[in-house]
Amino acid sequence: MKIFTLTFSEPENVTNPGQDGVQYSYPFTMVESSYISTPEQRSQTQKRRFISSITGTRLAGWHLSDSDLPKILFEFGRRHIVSLIESRSLPDDNTIRCPMITNASHPEPECPFDPVAISRLWVSPYRSSNRIHRLDSTSSQANDT
């Protein structure tokens, strides 16, 4: 059973000019937890990022503020990364594109996540570098510490 520790750092708005919607990049490091505090930790740590995006129409329908949007996109993306790790299908690519959030993929009239609840887990509005996720790749457990 492999357990991974992911540490996320400050997101960046990487929306392309003229794009219908918004996208953020979320850098993170990933290391098998058994390497933490060992001489191999640095060499075994992978630097990655995921990109999470939402269409302009879905964004307008959910009425998300500029300060809440990065939190919401982070939560969608974090859950996507967790599911990839748990299913052992995380690609080797340094950049992982999450499925775009659209009216078709998420027809709910309100955003399914409460940004206030995410705020309790967020270190500051645009930073979650101290947030560590331990993920067991053989079960569906994911624990935040």
Q: How many CB atoms lie within 10 A of CB 114?
A: 14
| Tokens representing residue 15 in the block | 């929306």
Number of domains in the chain: 1
Farthest CA pair distance, the chain: 50
How does DSSP classify residue 124? B
Q: Give per-residue pLDDT as tens, 35-65.
A: 989 999 999 999 999 999 999 999 999 999 9
What average pLDDT does the structure give for the chain? Answer: 83
The whole domain housing 132 covers 3-144
Give the pLDDT score at 33.
87
Beta pairing class for 46-55 and 95-97: parallel
What pTM does this model have? 0.81
Q: Give per-residue pLDDT as tens, 64-89.
A: 999 999 999 999 998 999 889 888 88
Beta pairing class for 12-13 and 46-55: unpaired
Give the pLDDT score at 137.
46
